A and B are shown apart, each in its own frame.
Chain A
């Protein structure tokens, strides 16, 4: 890495800015910028923060009366409430996996440049060996929870 140029990758997403909603599919934007840019430039220059993806928001488990009824008569030991919780836990797990799988896939093209610098042209016209590093992810609390594989709204007692 000696002599290379560190390029910190900054990501950000915000579910509250959802603007595209078509039928069952909802999406929210993922943005990318680099830490080398001065803060005032990142705020002022329209090309410094780039929209790189629309992430999917899976809908909450759909538990129809019909399904609930079938489960109730099939299994006398499982109550609907139990079944719903189980379903929700599974759904939450899927939501985490969907998010992390998606991010890993989208960002996979940066992985190579994290261990072996890539020669890139810079703003001053010089070429440099650029070494990428995932630096920051700007997100609100629910998304921080999703990112760090934690749970929220849950108590062990």
Chain B
């Protein structure tokens, strides 16, 4: 099963100076065809749509490089106590008064506000509550029936989107299910996409 939905290529790897040949069977249903950002197939040989790279002077939500580096130093490197941040900003502003200027932040609350406004990175946490909804026994219901359970989570759709778009994974990523065979016919398993589950799932779709 599945041979009509697959193609076989030779794969050569060099191990300890010896060339090792194996046959790699790729799935043709989940072919992972490159598309444009609207999902229409790209013609063969067309390069990827460029990523939106921010301008190198764009420090949003920070207004300047100084503001960003101050936040990075205080919050990440030094992990300065809030009271100390307030004190430093007061001194900084006092020293800038001659130049009719002020410190990058009014205090720790201002600093946290700007850091929270960073649109990149982690997916925000959300929460919901689950309750027992059955009938409560008389005369006294056990506590597990009456209390609420708070669940904290992050949207998995956005988490997966971030995983997929991470350029760090380039070269460490399988786009299609595959099966790899040694010249003896022995199957070689390595990554998830080389396993039976991925192959069967792809074939069973049709």
Contact = CB atoms under 8 A, between A and B. Distances in A.
Interface of A: 1-10, 24-25, 27, 30, 32-41, 45, 47-48, 50-56, 58-59, 61-64, 66-67, 70, 74, 87, 90-91, 94, 98, 101-102, 105-107, 109-110, 112-113, 117, 119-133, 135-136
B160 A62 contact: no
Nearest to A74: B139
B130 to A, nearest CB: 6
7 contacts: A5-B176, A6-B202, A33-B163, A63-B142, A64-B140, A123-B171, A130-B164
Given A7-B160, A123-B170, A124-B173, 5 more contacts: A4-B30, A6-B193, A67-B142, A120-B164, A121-B164
B130 A1 contact: no
Contact of B39 (A36, A109, A119): A119
A75 to B, nearest CB: 11
Contacts of A6: 30, 32, 176-177, 193, 198, 201-202
B201 to A, nearest CB: 6
A14 to B, nearest CB: 17
Given A6-B30, A87-B142, A110-B156, A135 B175 contact: no
A9 B160 contact: yes
Given A1-B29, A37-B173, A122-B165, A54 B160 contact: no
Nearest to A109: B157
Nearest to A2: B29
B55 interface: no
Contacts of A64: 140
Interface of B: 29-39, 41-42, 47-51, 128, 130, 132, 134, 139-140, 142-145, 147, 149-177, 190-193, 197-198, 201-202, 205
A56 B167 CA distance: 34
Contacts, number: 220
Given A4-B32, A70-B139, A119-B38, A127 B49 contact: yes
B130 A113 contact: no
Contacts of B167: 123, 125
Contact of A66 (B33, B140, B159): B140
A32 B156 contact: yes
Contacts of A132: 160
Nearest to B192: A35
A129 B40 CA distance: 9
Contact of B197 (A3, A36, A107, A136): A136
B169 A7 contact: no
B144 A62 contact: yes
Contacts of A5: 30, 32, 175-176
Contacts of A61: 142, 144
Nearest to B38: A119
B142 A48 contact: no
Given A52-B153, A127-B36, A35 B193 contact: yes
B53 to A, nearest CB: 11
B201 A105 contact: no
Given A70-B140, A74-B139, A94 B164 contact: no
Contacts of B165: 120-123
A104 to B, nearest CB: 11
Contact of A56 (B50, B150, B156, B198): B150
